[in-house]
Amino acid sequence: MKYYIITKIELSAEETCTFTDIGVTEDINIANQINESYDETLGKFIGEFKTKIELGIVKISSFFQTVSSVNEARTIVDNIDNLNIKLITNLNQL
């Protein structure tokens, strides 16, 4: 069975991105919805400003001025026995 790890991305006090695994789902549809939301928000921001971010003209923190966090579900694992994160069966659980 495939499990999709759901990772919360947010800005730390040091103005760097932090990545925290907050859940896991077996449902590819939930993972796809999470990833589509990421692609439309942070993914789009990074795509549009990639060069300016790399040059230090735009800071990633400017994205988080209007959004507190985003989730991503791109890590796939076969076993979750040793993971201490909750099973997500509905997006409302996030």
63 inside domain: yes
Residue closest to 6 by CA, chosen among 46, 17, 26? 26
Q: Which domain holds residue 31?
A: 3-88
How many domains does the chain divide into? 1
Tokens 């400017």 correspond to 62
93 inside domain: no
CB 24 within 8 A of CB 75: no
72 inside domain: yes
Query: Residue-wise pLDDT tens for the chain (94 aa)?
Result: 999 999 999 999 998 999 999 999 999 999 999 999 999 999 999 999 999 999 999 999 999 999 999 999 999 999 999 899 999 999 999 9
Helix (H, G, I), strand (E, B) or coil at 77: strand
Which pLDDT score, from 0 to 100, does residue 63 have? 97
